[in-house]
Amino acid sequence: MTDKQKNLLIRVIVAGVLMVILTLLPLDDYPILRFLLFLIPYLTVGYDILRKAFKGIKNKQVFDEHFLMAVATIGAMALGEYTEGVAVMWFYQIGELFQSYAVGKSRRNIAELMDIRPDYANIENEDGSIEKVDPDDIEIGTIIVVQPGEKIPIDGVIREGNTTLNTAALTGESVPRDVKCGDEVISGCINMSGLIKIETTKEFDESTASKILDLVENASSRKSKSEQFITKFARVYTPAVCYSALALAVIPPIIRFFMGLDPIWSQWVYRALTFLVISCPCAIVVSIPLSFFGGIGGASNQGILIKGSNFMETLASVKTIAFDKTGTITKGNFEVSDIHHSPLSDSELLEIAALAESHSTHPISRSLMLAHGKELDMSRVTDISEISGAGVLANVDGHNVAAGNLNLMRHIGITAKECHSTGTIVHMAIDGKYVGHIVISDELKENSEEAIAELKKAGIKRAVMLTGDKDKVAKKIAEDVGIDEYYAELLPADKVTHVEKLLKECGEKEKLAFVGDGINDAPVLSRADIGIAMGALGSDAAIEAADVVLMDDDPMKISKAIKIAKKCIRIVYENIYFAILVKLGCLLLGALGIANMWLAIFADVGVMVICVLNAIRCLAVKNL
């Protein structure tokens, strides 16, 4: 508890005890003494509210909740309802205390969940001793020491030692990762086993941990529609209730007076005062940001970064998902899976293919080199010419080698054998003679099928796959994992066009999400209603481009993100409807004279406590 809260708590307790004693004392025969005595607990618990109300009037900010409370309680005291006057103030303050405690508590909870902020960095002095310094002061290229059990404070490259890292705080998944000298490491990971020395490659502010924290903290600054609605609502609602209260206090008695009846002023003023107590908009105003804050914090603990409350709303109404195949449904690591029709041995053919493609940066050539697995002697290759979208022509050991797709074979006048396997096929020819082909395929992720099924359960109507790969490959994958539609052989620009087409086909309140690996698909990510990048750990580009960032590449996280968003939005709406209905109901009862001050207190403080407790549920997202 803060000092402010402690102070308020003491005042609430003292005033409570005083009030109980005063109600028990036989004071009915001494009205003035009774009034003065009740003034003690009233001022003890409510003096600051009165002061704020007074300042509000002075600053021409009349209609705030302090004013409402001040008028209502002073009015009740003036009507001789001392117990109720003090009780309203007392409960109001209890409500304030509870609210401020709950908000503070969830701030701390989230800070704990996001416990990736490094507090210090170690640098080694010349005499070998280790000194703790502020990570802000570390310049790029400094060598820092991370001992076992410590957090890596700044992104960098290991220069000495090897160890196992725990990335749980970043990804939500506790899979240990082995790293060795020369590997890149990111801040926020915990060093589990060995001492390592890291050469920093970024400043503290630009490091992954700082960026993620910044992102989560700022997420609730992007306000959702429901927050904007409530802000507007509060602006209209409070003055409206105040004027109604005034009307209620004045108009009925006047009408009664002209009808020749007793105006019973005190009764109508009392009803107007209950109006004022009910009218406080705190319950909804505080519960909505609290819900979003909880939801965003809980999600980031699971390795899902949602960049704004507004995206939470969009995510909850996603009905169509478009996937970029590589890196989301498949692992994105192309592997040589087969070699067909070759008169040469597999390793010979692979070596020649790897040499021919050795100057290309295409993922296909990388996988050929990986499959070959040995150092290449580049001097064996000459006269390389790359034919874009077809393959490579090169001279290897004095032989003319062609490696590429069917188009390339046709281009150089060679009849190739068609392949029936799914995957990317590299046909090979040496000195004008066909020597077979290499099949390279991208593996499916183990849980892609399950992930799509979960998405369907989470209310996704349409799962679409967009890929630059061949139709045959796309069809097989779509069938295997249960994707409804696929569009194959697309260029990057085509993906944008297709997403635009899909956007048009979405219903009015239905949203479209695009899931990509964050590399090369920034235009599509931003074109969709909501862009989800996965496998983003260590990729700044992906974190920048997407609205929702999945730190690891587990496709199950997509449905989890949607479920978290749905839960959060459901809670927000529950609170909005519940609070508004109870308040309007109590206002009606109050106007009819059925509701007394006690019910009004429930409508104010009770509703607020219930809404806050409900909002706190947003944090619990682990088992969704």
Q: Which residues are catalytic?
A: 324
- Binder among 286, 440, 549, 591 for another protein (CB under 8 A): 286
Nearest approach, Cβ of residue 302 and another protein (Å): 19
Show the beta-strand stretches assigned E in 143-242: 143-146, 156-160, 163-166, 176-179, 184-185, 190-191, 196-200
Q: State yes or no: residue 281 binds another protein (CB under 8 A).
A: yes
Token readout for 306 is 């949602």
Segment near another protein (CB under 8 A); pick from 50-58, 394-402, 416-424, 590-598: 50-58
Tell me if 407 sits within 8 A of 427, measured CB to CB: no
> What is the DSSP-derived secondary structure letter of residue 389?
T
Binding mask 293-332 for another protein (x = CB under 8 A): x---------------------------------------
Chain residues 92-121 in contact with another protein, contact rule CB under 8 A: 96, 99-100, 103, 106-107
152 makes contact with another protein (CB under 8 A): no
**Shortest Cβ 217–another protein spacing (Å):** 5
Does 218 interact with another protein (rule: CB under 8 A)?
Answer: yes
Q: Token digits for 331?
A: 């692992």
Measured from the CB atom, the residue of 239 and 373 that comes closer to another protein is 239
C-beta separation of 275 from 587 below 8 A: yes
CB nearer to another protein: give 51 or 180: 51
User: How far is 579 from 612, CA to CA, in rounded Å?
Assistant: 11
224 binds another protein (CB under 8 A): no
* Nearer residue to another protein within complex by CB, 53 or 439: 53
Nearer to another protein, 280 or 354 (CB): 280
> Cα(69)–Cα(38) distance, rounded to whole angstroms?
17
**Sign of the CA dihedral running 275, 276, 277, 278:** positive
**Interface size with another protein, residues (CB under 8 A):** 30
150 close to 190: Cβ distance less than 8 angstroms: yes
Tell me the closest approach of the beta carbon of residue 118 to another protein, in angstroms. Answer: 19
**Binds another protein by CB under 8 A, chosen from 147, 231, 347, 407:** 231
Alpha carbon of 532 to those of 94, 303, 462, 474, 541: distances in Å? 42, 13, 16, 21, 13
By the rule CB under 8 A, 55 interacts with another protein: yes
Closest C-alpha among 562, 572, 566 to residue 320: 562
Among 122, 187, 208, 220, binds another protein (CB under 8 A): 220
C-alpha distances in Å from residue 145, one per residue of 139, 152, 159, 601: 14, 9, 10, 58
Residue 532: count of CB within 10 angstroms of its CB: 30
Candidate list 34, 52, 462, 472; residue touching another protein; CB under 8 A: 52
Q: Which of 69, 144, 290, 316 binds another protein (CB under 8 A)?
A: 290
| DSSP for 304-345, written as a single string | EEE--HHHHHHHHTEEEEEEESBTTTEEEEEEEEEEES-SS-
Binding site for another protein (CB under 8 A): 4, 52, 55-56, 59, 61, 64-65, 96, 99-100, 103, 106-107, 217-218, 220-221, 223, 231, 234, 281-282, 285-286, 288-290, 292-293
